[in-house]
Chains A and B, each alone.
Chain A
Amino acid sequence: MKKEHEKRCPNCQGGLTRRGFLTTMGVGAVAMALPQHARAEPSEKGQVLEARQLTKIPLRINGRLHRLLVEPRWSLLHVLRECLGLTGTKVGCERGECGACTVLINDVPRYSCMILAVEAEEVEITTLEGLMTGEELGPVQKAFVEDDAFQCGYCTPGQIMAVEGLLRHNPNPSLEEIRQGMSGNLCRCGAYVHIFKAAKRAATLKGA
């Protein structure tokens, strides 16, 4: 299997070591390192998927089932934004540092840049769009509007998802719990103080 892979993978042909390949490709290469997670049809458990072999996977996003052809190395973030056009999930670093790409995986905030699409086929994915009822904003979104909990707005979807995830597990968080809960989401405009207020307001709105 390894030989077959190397024959067809231009990176390996080019003489790059596995280590080098992993480094350069970052998260994308983890597909090969963690074959047990790549359980897409028609492959069986444990089968190694090639980086470029399109694989059919079902993804449950905001309650709807999408059947997609993805490369095993594609991040969930890439699939959400570039394949499905769900731009409520933003890209900031693609290496798990900023939280702009935060989505809920089974109600828990997770960085979608750190999850492969093929890893996400048996979970419930909620994006910013999934917090809305039609065109109506959800309570966390409303609170962000009221408290002006953003400036440029680019980290905002991730911040909103982090608050949503926090409140789903802790409906009435203290200030310290809010700060902890939001500590995985960077905001370069520095809207944190208003985000704290919005999180409190959202807790109230959700309780109401």
Chain B
Amino acid sequence: MKEDREGLYYVREAPLPETPAPGERPAPWERTQVIGTPLARVDAYERVSGSAVYPSDVVLSNMLYGAILRCPHPNAKVLKVDTTEAEKYPGVRAVIGPSTPGANPPWLYSQWLPPKEIWSKLFDPNCRFEGDTVAAVAAETPYQAWDAVQAIKVQYDVLPFVVDENKALEAGVPSVYKEGNRVQILTYDRGDIEKGFAGADVILEETYRTACEIHTPMELHGCVADWQGDHLTLWESTQGVFAVQKEVAAVLQMPLSKVRVVGHYMGGGFGSKLKAGKYTVIAALLAKMTAQPVKLVLTREETYLAVGNRPPSNMRIKAGVKKDGTLTAFEFACTGTGGAYPAGGTALVDWQIRDLYTCPNVHTEATDVYTHAGPARPFRAPGHPQGSWALEQMMDALAEAIDMDPVELRLKNIPTFSQARDGNPVYSSTGLKECLQEGAKAFGWKEAREKSSRNRHKGHLRRGVGMAAASWFIGGGMPPATVIVKLYSDGSVNLNMGASDIGTGTKTVMAMVIAEELGIKTDVIQIENADTGTTQYTNPSGGSKTVPTESPTVRAAVVDIKQQLLNMAAQDLHTDPSHLTFQDGKVISKDNPSTGIKITDISGLKKRSVLVGMASRGPNPEDRAIVPFAAQFCEIEVNTRTGEVEILRFLGAHDSGRVMNRLTYDSQVFGGITMGIGFAMTEARILDAKQTGKMVNKSWHDYKLPTAMDVPADMISLPMEIPDDVANTTGAKGLGEPVTIPTAAALANAVYHATGVRVTETPMTPITLCRLFPAGSKEE
């Protein structure tokens, strides 16, 4: 038995990573034994057995179900809400609306780039988008709740609307606010573009557009709200429990300590679940009124209307290049809309143009307008895939114009510092060159390109290859984050951290950090996370920030434990802690390895039963930009008769610093490419701009995601493995966003390569492509 326990807890004979003296930064891992391996997820069992309880799975005794009545018009004023009929329906326990006392608190919409706020109300009589909240019901079953929602009678003053962002600033169009439809126009300048264009051998100009994309995570937005007296507990499907806590506490004017938000598991968010929803507060209010728990999970249709989107982008790009491939100038303009409230309608769309390639002269202009449509929310790499769609197709066109390979043109213009940031900080690490070179090599870029070029524009089945590169705005994580690691007397460990694991493998990666440092197996590590009541503060999981934020913090907390153990062992061994080191489940003397004590025999540990290690995330290095880089390559076959595109293979070459877990790393790469395929090929919010202003495809039937039939089985993930030891002590940079940025542009470049047709608008559906292909191309 004893033997078994030892086998369970201490797994290897190699020395553990050196423990730094208190206050010193741990040295970068030289050789890792757990980190980087393809370890199955620590919570895989829960996720495949159905025992993981997602917020929408929560069933409490005496629980009611909520449903929301939403405005069916893009612009309307609510004149009267009559709930008398609905209140009499069987099973109905509460109906709330704009005139229910205490049930219509102020509601804040805001954006951060640049900061802007508009105060609305939970049930605002001015409904500025289809799907805004009008009233809500709690009943014994969801069926009864929806019956009652149908029975609420609302008088609307239906008003004229504008949902086309390109028309929003025209004279005479309906205004979302009396001040007009302009949110802001932002400009950016460096160098002198006139001079830049004067020095160019080739100048190209083109207009691009990307359609509005909807997140549609598999788990619907929603929560379960339960009061115990004046304490509120919320099980919320969220990327950030602390963000939800803060918002709900503010809206309900409660102390933070009385709002507990739990989100152990969540079924995808992609940016749309970074904050509380109106539904969260509505559930809390219904639960308060009925003195019963309330589950409020949106319908799929509601998630298309009211919980965010990636804004549409209308872009014009002009670029100058010398014959040798030197970029001389970029001029870029973009119009977008975050919908009816300030929501970053053009945020970061120009970032790739400003920062990805060396270019001394850049001018960008971004016009964000209000429209009568659902507010945007951050969507996986906000702004980036849109800007990439324009920039990376332009790079492809420039390369052709100067008769240079597209990979070569990019290699010619690799920056070593961030040109768009104040002070031009140097990159903590950059693998853009490696991504391009290694990616092209592994893909067989030259050969594949030559092969399909030979048969180019022949027959109706045409092969082509395309590629695109990318960087992501923030990839280094940041404070604040605190974690606690507890070492039990038998050597097993509990990790306590606030971060949500949104499916990216956060818990698994953190367990691996502990395993690496302590030499224990990951399956004796228990993890509590994403609970404002019991775990430590951190920012929401999003923006590719989680691993670079949490993993150095977890490492520091384990180092804290190790330092304590060394001190205690030093007492037992009557020596100085600096003479001691860890090996094989023991603390041994560096000078005399035969002298030592088993960790579990250290008297201080035995006496205390639990050692607590704690750490908070330190600042990032000053004067450094921490940025992940990527290059993706694909091969496709286009049917010029039907407009169908078959994606044959994809390769993602990524520099996200150290690979923490090869299995979840690859899952991220494939997932990002798959989402990019949807963005490129099928996804588009379609608004009936002329007649009703309503969204016409608010279902997965009509708004098509990539299915198993639409992605190539031949996908390769090629990590560059350049640990970024400047960035943080685990060397990891973010991965979740860069994996989806260049995908769509790579596909468009492949379509161009195959057909000679430059597709400037997403999505590249068969119908769009058929219209673009010249008649002759279908007959050959």
A residues adjacent to B (C-beta < 8 A): 10-11, 14, 16, 24-25, 28, 51-52, 71, 73-74, 78, 81-82, 85-95, 97-98, 100, 127-129, 132, 135, 137, 141, 144-146, 148, 150-157, 160, 175, 178-180, 182-183, 185-196
A93 and B700 contacting across the interface, CB-CB below 8 Å: yes
Q: Which residues of B contact A153 (CB under 8 A)?
A: 46-48, 52, 265, 267, 503
B483 to chain A, nearest CB (A): 22
Point out the residue from B59, B143, B217 that lies within 8 Å of A73, measured CB to CB.
B143
* Residues of chain B at interface, number, CB under 8 A: 68
Point out the residue from B45, B89, B664 that lies within 8 Å of A148, measured CB to CB.
B664
A-B residue pairs in contact (CB < 8 Å), sample of 30: A10-B88, A74-B143, A85-B59, A86-B50, A90-B56, A97-B699, A100-B218, A144-B44, A145-B40, A145-B45, A148-B44, A148-B664, A148-B666, A150-B48, A150-B667, A151-B671, A152-B218, A152-B502, A153-B48, A153-B52, A157-B50, A178-B708, A179-B708, A188-B705, A189-B667, A189-B671, A190-B674, A193-B670, A193-B711, A195-B708
Q: Which residues of A contact B503 (CB under 8 A)?
A: 150-153, 189
Known interface pairs A73-B143, A98-B700, A183-B707; A190-B670 also in contact (CB < 8 Å)? yes
B300 and A186 contacting across the interface, CB-CB below 8 Å: no
Q: Which residues of A contact B88 (CB under 8 A)?
A: 10
B701 and A97 contacting across the interface, CB-CB below 8 Å: yes
Cα distance A14–B149 when bound, in Å?
A: 12
Q: Which residue on chain A has the smallest CB distance to residue B217? A: A188
Point out which of A24, A92, A95 has the most chain B C-beta atoms below 10 A from its C-beta.
A92
Q: How many A-B residue pairs have CB under 8 A?
A: 202
Judge if B57 is at the interface, Cβ distance under 8 Å: yes
B496 to chain A, nearest CB (A): 22
Give chain B interface residues in 500-545, CB to chain A under 8 Å. Answer: 502-505
B709 and A10 contacting across the interface, CB-CB below 8 Å: no
Q: Which residues of A contact B671 (CB under 8 A)?
A: 151, 189-191
Cα distance A91–B675 when bound, in Å?
A: 21
B667 and A194 contacting across the interface, CB-CB below 8 Å: yes
Cα distance A180–B713 when bound, in Å?
A: 13
Q: Which residues of B contact A88 (CB under 8 A)?
A: 49-50
Q: Which 10 A-B residue pairs are closest in the complex by CB-CB distance?
A: A88-B50, A190-B674, A154-B267, A152-B503, A153-B47, A151-B503, A190-B671, A87-B57, A97-B700, A182-B708
B299 and A129 contacting across the interface, CB-CB below 8 Å: no
Cα distance A145–B270 when bound, in Å?
A: 23
Q: Which residues of B contact A95 (CB under 8 A)?
A: 300, 699, 701
B40 and A146 contacting across the interface, CB-CB below 8 Å: yes
B150 and A28 contacting across the interface, CB-CB below 8 Å: no
Q: Which residues of B contact A16 (CB under 8 A)?
A: 150
Cα distance A193–B672 when bound, in Å?
A: 12
Cα distance A25–B299 when bound, in Å?
A: 12
Known interface pairs A91-B297, A187-B218; A145-B143 also in contact (CB < 8 Å)? no
Interface secondary structure of B, over-half rule: loop
A113 to chain B, nearest CB (A): 10
Q: Which residues of B contact A14 (CB under 8 A)?
A: 85, 150-151
Cα distance A155–B503 when bound, in Å?
A: 12
Cα distance A14–B90 when bound, in Å?
A: 14
Cα distance A183–B713 when bound, in Å?
A: 13
Q: Which residues of A contact B215 (CB under 8 A)?
A: 188
Judge if B54 is at the interface, Cβ distance under 8 Å: yes
A144 and B48 contacting across the interface, CB-CB below 8 Å: yes
Q: Which residues of A contact B44 (CB under 8 A)?
A: 144-145, 148
A175 and B49 contacting across the interface, CB-CB below 8 Å: no
Judge if B377 is at the interface, Cβ distance under 8 Å: no
Cα distance A144–B151 when bound, in Å?
A: 45
Q: Which residue on chain B has the smallest CB distance to residue A89? A: B50
B673 and A94 contacting across the interface, CB-CB below 8 Å: no
B659 to chain A, nearest CB (A): 14
Q: Which residues of A contact B48 (CB under 8 A)?
A: 137, 141, 144-145, 150, 153, 156-157, 160
Known interface pairs A86-B50, A186-B705; A11-B147 also in contact (CB < 8 Å)? yes
B112 to chain A, nearest CB (A): 25
Q: Other than A14-B151, A160-B48, give 13 A-B pairs with Cβ distance below 8 A.
A: A10-B151, A11-B147, A11-B151, A25-B146, A87-B57, A144-B44, A148-B41, A151-B268, A151-B504, A152-B268, A156-B47, A182-B708, A186-B705
Point out the residue from A71, A93, A150, A175 that lies within 8 Å of B143, measured CB to CB.
A71
Cα distance A94–B301 when bound, in Å?
A: 10
Q: Which residue on chain A has the smallest CB distance to residue B151? A: A14
Contact with A along B16-59 (1 / 0, CB 8 A): 00000000000000000000001011001111111011101101
Q: Which residues of B contact A92 (CB under 8 A)?
A: 218-220, 300
A155 and B50 contacting across the interface, CB-CB below 8 Å: no
Q: Which residues of B contact A94 (CB under 8 A)?
A: 299-300
Give chain B interface residues in 204-224, CB to chain A under 8 Å. Answer: 215-220
Cα distance A188–B89 when bound, in Å?
A: 37
Point out which of B706, B712, B713 has the most chain A C-beta atoms below 10 A from its C-beta.
B713
Q: Which residues of A contact B147 (CB under 8 A)?
A: 10-11
Cα distance A60–B472 when bound, in Å?
A: 52
A101 to chain B, nearest CB (A): 11
Contact with A along B152-196 (1 / 0, CB 8 A): 000000000000000000000000000000000000000000000
B267 and A129 contacting across the interface, CB-CB below 8 Å: no
Judge if B604 is at the interface, Cβ distance under 8 Å: no
Q: Which residue on chain B has the smallest CB distance to residue A83? A: B59
A185 and B143 contacting across the interface, CB-CB below 8 Å: no
Known interface pairs A91-B297, A153-B265, A190-B674; A81-B57 also in contact (CB < 8 Å)? yes
B708 and A196 contacting across the interface, CB-CB below 8 Å: yes
A186 and B47 contacting across the interface, CB-CB below 8 Å: no
Judge if B415 is at the interface, Cβ distance under 8 Å: no
B699 and A188 contacting across the interface, CB-CB below 8 Å: no
Q: Which residue on chain A has the smallest CB distance to residue B300? A: A93
Known interface pairs A141-B49, A145-B40, A156-B47; A190-B675 also in contact (CB < 8 Å)? yes
B244 to chain A, nearest CB (A): 17
Cα distance A144–B57 when bound, in Å?
A: 21
A98 to chain B, nearest CB (A): 6
Judge if B440 is at the interface, Cβ distance under 8 Å: no
Cα distance A183–B701 when bound, in Å?
A: 13
Judge if B770 is at the interface, Cβ distance under 8 Å: no
